[in-house]
A and B are shown apart, each in its own frame.
Chain A
Amino acid sequence: AQSVTQLDSHVSVSEGTPVLLRCNYSSSYSPSLFWYVQHPNKGLQLLLKYTSAATLVKGINGFEAEFKKSETSFHLTKPSAHMSDAAEYFCVVSDLLNAGNNRKLIWGLGTSLAVNP
C-alpha cells in the first residue's frame, strides 16, 4: 500500500524568502503525485501534478516540485514567498482503489504555511 508523509506540520517563513515543504512517499511502483492547497475556509485547489513525464514539475503561483525516486521525495518549493501563499498544503499520492478501474488519493496530513511580513 502507498503512503504519504509530510515531514513538517507547520512552516513559517518571511515574505520574499524561499519556501520548502517536504513530502516523502512510499510506493511499490512509479506513483502519480500531487500537491493541493487549501486556503482558510475554502476548497482544495490543485497546485501541480507529477505523472512521470518530467521530474521537475511547475505549478501555479510560482510553485515547483521535484520528484526524486532515489529519495522517495516530492518536495514543494517556491523561490519567494508572498503573503497570499499562507495556507494549508497537502501532498497526495494516487493509488488503485481495487482491481477495477478506479483510483483513490492518499493524503498527507498537511503542512500549514505561515508567511510573516
Chain B
Amino acid sequence: NAGVTQTPKFQVLKTGQSMTLQCAQDMNHNSMYWYRQDPGMGLRLIYYSASEGTTDKGEVPDGYNVSRLKKQNFLLGLESAAPSQTSVYFCASSNQGRYSNQPQHFGDGTRLSIL
C-alpha cells in the first residue's frame, strides 16, 4: 500500500546543476501536485496536473519545469539549481475536481539543498 512515493529522499546539488525529482502514485488519481515547504511560509504550490498530459503553473513556478507523461508519474525538474530552491519538496495526488473535493495524499518529501 505505497500511496505516493517520492525519490530521492535527500539530495545535495551545486548551484547550476540540474536534476529531476520523481513522484509516483498507485491510487489511480487524476490530479497531481508539487509543493515546496519553507520555514514560516507553509506549503506553496509549484505546478499541478489535472490529468495525464496536462500541466499548469501554481504560485511559484519560476525555475522549475514538470512533465506528466503517465497518469501515475509526475516529474519536477530544476534546470539550473539556485540556492533559493533549497527546500523540502512534496508531491501529492487526489481526485479533486470542481465538484469533487477529495483530500490530497502526500509523499514523504524530498529534502533538497543547493550549495
Contacts and interface: CB of A to CB of B under 8 A. Distances in A.
Interface of A: 32, 34, 36, 41-46, 49, 51, 90, 94, 96-98, 100-105, 107-110
Contact of A42 (B4, B41, B45, B108): B108
Contact of B40 (A46, A104, A109): A109
Interface residues of B, number: 24
Given A103-B101, A105-B104, A43 B109 contact: yes
Interface in B19-56: 31, 40-43, 45, 48, 50, 56
B96 interface: yes
B98 A103 contact: yes
Interface of B: 4, 31, 40-43, 45, 48, 50, 56, 58, 90, 92, 96-98, 101, 103-109
Given A49-B101, A103-B96, 16 more contacts: A32-B101, A36-B106, A42-B108, A43-B4, A43-B106, A44-B106, A94-B96, A96-B98, A100-B98, A101-B97, A102-B48, A102-B98, A103-B98, A104-B58, A107-B43, A109-B42
